[in-house]
Chain A
Amino acid sequence: MSRAVRRARRSRIGDLGLAAALAAECVAFAALSPHFFTAENLLNVSLQASITAIIAAGMTFVILTGGIDLSVGSVVAVAGIVATSTLKAGLAPSVGIPLAILVALAFGALSGSIAGLFVTRFAVAPFIVTLALMTVWRGTAFVVTGGRPVWELPESFGYLGSGRPLGVPLPSLAMLGVYAAAHVVLLHTRFGRYVLAVGGNAEAARLAGIRTGRVVAGVYVLCGVLSAASGVLLASRMNSGQPNAGMMYELDVIAAVVVGGTSLSGGRGSIAGTFLGAMLIAVLRNGLNLLNVNSYVQQVVVGVVILLAVLADTARKKR
């Protein structure tokens, strides 16, 4: 058997290992709690996971280039406020809601563009740029709202976050759509290939004719837009724009990507892995809730699971 075949198989076993861990986790919780393996609860898990999972798809691209985006949680808050404030402008819901979504997504793209500009043109470390943006947007959220939530919104806006076409929560469907698209973009478009190349060796990529600046800026815009989309869904679910929405989301999002096997040094990783990583963490939270595990203990458990997942990944790569 050629090395390549084994290598390919090995990388798939990585995803399979993650899938197996997820399955084992589900079986364990199903055995421990009669409420776990019910359609309602599983849909609930997917709904709870959807908000951060959508962002994690974008974060995967950022991390694949060797970067990081710490501003996602604050972008969620500002995007929610931008959307809800637009709704308060008094337009008919049929116009107002699409407009609110568009304006929020445009804000996400703007935030991503700013991050991309600083990272590429001014060569500032992504960690610093997005840390700064995280603070700027969080502060902005509190300043423009005066610390009070934006509410009294058109009733139909709530459908985005709480609607259930065919019984499935809309954010869960949105998440599946985002992941399907992200998978195709990463593996079957030029942009996706360039992302992997830039993350693997940026200078070699540039000398092969790749406009690396555009690629890097592109991943921050993508991540910003997906964060804003999550922000709109969250605002709809809460029926308000909250200045403290999305607090600490960046950590959950990065955890999902890392548990999913994407290398923080860039170049290696997958969308499927991130999806499984996000699900693994969501199921864990949900299961521990059903078992009435104290929320502080939950934090410890989730942290340990992240460490174990990364450990398993390192061991697998060494073999």
Chain B
Amino acid sequence: MSTLLELRGIVKRYGGVLALDGVDFGVERGEVHALVGENGAGKSTLMKILAGAIPRDAGTVLVEGAEADLDSPAASLRLGIGMIHQDLKIVPEMTVAENLLLGAEPLLAGTPFLDRRAMERAARAALAQLGEDLDPWAKAGRLGVARQQIVEIAGAISRKVRVLALDEPTASLTGREIARLFDVVRRLRAEGAGIVYISHRLDEVFEIADRVTVLRDGRTVASAPASTIDRTTLVRWMIGREIAEGAREGAPAAGEEILRLEGVASGWLGPVNLALRRGEVLGLAGLVGAGRTELARLVFGADRPDSGRMFLEGREIAPRSPREAIDLGIALLTEDRNRLGLVSTMNVRENVTLASLRALGRGIFTSLRREETATRRHVDRLRIRAPSLDAGVDQLSGGNRQKVVLARWLETRSKVLIFDEPTAGVDVAAKAEILALVRELAAGGAGVMVVSSDLPELLGLSDRILVLCEGAIAGDLAAGEATQERVMTLATGGGREAA
């Protein structure tokens, strides 16, 4: 093995904030090197520097022993450093081949015209290297996320990338797709590439990585061969202390029924019957596309059901908009906080109070003082790390952004709270805090529904699990009888149980 890439003493300041404080990191030829750390630890900043997207303030970068500047994305690419971002950079209207060769299109000799045959050859060759047989002229937007990711990786390969960084590559992949991705990663490793692998999912890290480096507060705190450490050690390095993962205290007795759905249906979804009790955490399990998010949106009035009845505390309701649902005491923490939750042009305070301005204002006017008091309370309680209440939410890390949206819904003091993937893309410590908060809300007398694709987490959290499969309830399991195997069997359409 020989060193492909070495970073020494990398420092990056954002104004007065030290984002990276002398980070050392390197990748060998034929190695998968995992980079882990909580949100805000500096992983993204380090990756941006590697990609040439932002300049570093100090430190040395060596590519195969030679000093490199990395002063632009083009410079990084020229040196053979490629990056696959969590949110893919695919142009959906363009074809697979066009995406793959974007910016490096082969031309017919001596003309400004594209050489379509050469494009097809290059695309096929790069895809074949990954064991993929995609139509180069298929529209990229029609492909699933997993395939789009493969197209991006193939694009990197066609550019002769020697170091490939993958940032949370499995965030929107299913189990089978993850296995395929790992095959691709192993193939690249066997061919001598250096892979930087960033993930919050520690199981994956142990499965794929040869070496693990931990960042905390902008510093390299540890680096070790993956085979020499265990999960507990890794978590302790990441957060600097011990936490109990996914543990849940004895189930409290649930109170009276607070929400009931009778035959609620919309398009392919339903009819769904369900009952939620005060003090209960009801987990909604199922595969992506099983209808969990759609069901949550119906209850919240974001979409309208075609038929069925809903009752809140025994009274029939039919919310026609989120506004009406909120007024009734229903809250929905949406999946995809950046697209559906936060207003990125607004600051922390404005985002927290957005759903409660009526209660926090005086007449038609807003009250800065009351808004600040309310926001301060949530920031303290949820331990939101923000430079100030007036800091833009675009300055916060993923976990803190999620807490800002959580704070918005806590402020509405709702009776029924629905959380759609509340811990997606959130670091270990924030995850534990969010799960504890969900329990706390239920203990306080609210009815809580949680949608999560992280099954162990959902099993640890819920008093009862409803399993959805293709728009219908496939099973209703009490906490004691729900196991991963049982839920997955139901979710994949095996052995339907009475709802």
Residues in A neighbouring B390, C-beta threshold 8 A:
4, 7-8
In the complex the two chains form, what is the Cα distance from A204 to B346 in whole Å? 12
Contact B408 A267 (CB under 8 A): no
In the complex the two chains form, what is the Cα distance from A28 to B165 in whole Å? 55
Residues in A neighbouring B350, C-beta threshold 8 A:
193, 196-197
In the complex the two chains form, what is the Cα distance from A199 to B350 in whole Å? 14
- Knowing A2-B388, A209-B322, A211-B321, the reply to whether A201 touches B344 (Cβ < 8 A) is yes
Q: How many residues of A contact B (CB 8 A)?
A: 32
Candidates B327, B334, B366, B391; contact of A207 at CB < 8 Å: B334
- Knowing A7-B391, A189-B366, A193-B366, the reply to whether A200 touches B343 (Cβ < 8 A) is yes
Contact B345 A204 (CB under 8 A): no
Q: Does A5 contact B (CB under 8 A)?
A: yes
Q: Does B392 contact A (CB under 8 A)?
A: yes
CB distance from A200 to the nearest CB of B (A): 4
Contact B347 A4 (CB under 8 A): yes
In the complex the two chains form, what is the Cα distance from A206 to B321 in whole Å? 8
- Knowing A2-B391, A3-B17, the reply to whether A207 touches B332 (Cβ < 8 A) is yes
Q: Does B357 contact A (CB under 8 A)?
A: yes
Contact B366 A204 (CB under 8 A): no
Residues in A neighbouring B364, C-beta threshold 8 A:
189-191
A residues within 8 Å of B by Cβ? Answer: 1-8, 188-194, 196-197, 199-201, 203-211, 266-268
Residues in B neighbouring A192, C-beta threshold 8 A:
366
Q: Does B341 contact A (CB under 8 A)?
A: yes
Q: Does B110 contact A (CB under 8 A)?
A: no
**Which of A3, A199, A207, A208: most chain B Cβ within 10 A?**
A208
- Knowing A190-B357, A193-B350, A193-B357, the reply to whether A200 touches B344 (Cβ < 8 A) is yes
Q: Does B339 contact A (CB under 8 A)?
A: yes
Q: Does B239 contact A (CB under 8 A)?
A: no
Candidates A190, A204, A206; contact of B361 at CB < 8 Å: A190
Chain B 360-371: CB-based contact to A (< 8 A → 1; otherwise 0): 010011100000
Q: Which residue of B lies closest to A211 (CB)?
A: B323
CB distance from A67 to the nearest CB of B (A): 15
- 8 A-B residue pairs with Cβ-Cβ distance under 8 Å, sorted by A, are A3-B387, A3-B388, A193-B350, A196-B350, A199-B345, A203-B340, A208-B355, A209-B323
Contact B323 A197 (CB under 8 A): no
In the complex the two chains form, what is the Cα distance from A206 to B334 in whole Å? 12
Q: How many residues of B contact A (CB 8 A)?
A: 40
- Knowing A197-B343, A201-B344, the reply to whether A188 touches B355 (Cβ < 8 A) is no
- Knowing A193-B350, A208-B322, A210-B354, the reply to whether A1 touches B343 (Cβ < 8 A) is no
Q: Does B326 contact A (CB under 8 A)?
A: yes
- Knowing A189-B365, A191-B364, A208-B354, the reply to whether A200 touches B15 (Cβ < 8 A) is no
Residues in A neighbouring B347, C-beta threshold 8 A:
4
In the complex the two chains form, what is the Cα distance from A5 to B366 in whole Å? 22
Contact B345 A5 (CB under 8 A): no
**Which of B345, B355, B389: most chain A Cβ within 10 A?**
B345
Chain B 246-285: CB-based contact to A (< 8 A → 1; otherwise 0): 0000000000000000000000000000000000000000
Q: Which residue of B lies closest to A203 (CB)?
A: B340
Q: Which residue of A lies closest to B16 (CB)?
A: A1
Contact B365 A205 (CB under 8 A): no
Contact A3 B366 (CB under 8 A): no
Candidates B323, B346, B391; contact of A4 at CB < 8 Å: B391
CB distance from B378 to the nearest CB of A (A): 15
**Which of B350, B366, B395: most chain A Cβ within 10 A?**
B366
Contact A3 B345 (CB under 8 A): no
CB distance from B231 to the nearest CB of A (A): 35
In the complex the two chains form, what is the Cα distance from A2 to B343 in whole Å? 21
Residues in B neighbouring A201, C-beta threshold 8 A:
339, 342-345
Q: Which residue of A lies closest to B323 (CB)?
A: A209
Q: Does B113 contact A (CB under 8 A)?
A: no
* Residues 10 to 40 of chain B near chain A (Cβ within 8 Å): 14-17
CB distance from B1 to the nearest CB of A (A): 41
Q: Does B302 contact A (CB under 8 A)?
A: yes
In the complex the two chains form, what is the Cα distance from A188 to B355 in whole Å? 16
3 closest cross-chain pairs (CB), A and B: A267-B345, A200-B345, A4-B388
Chain B 426-439: CB-based contact to A (< 8 A → 1; otherwise 0): 00000000000000
Residues in A neighbouring B334, C-beta threshold 8 A:
207
Candidates A1, A6, A196, A204; contact of B342 at CB < 8 Å: A204
CB distance from A205 to the nearest CB of B (A): 7
CB distance from A184 to the nearest CB of B (A): 8
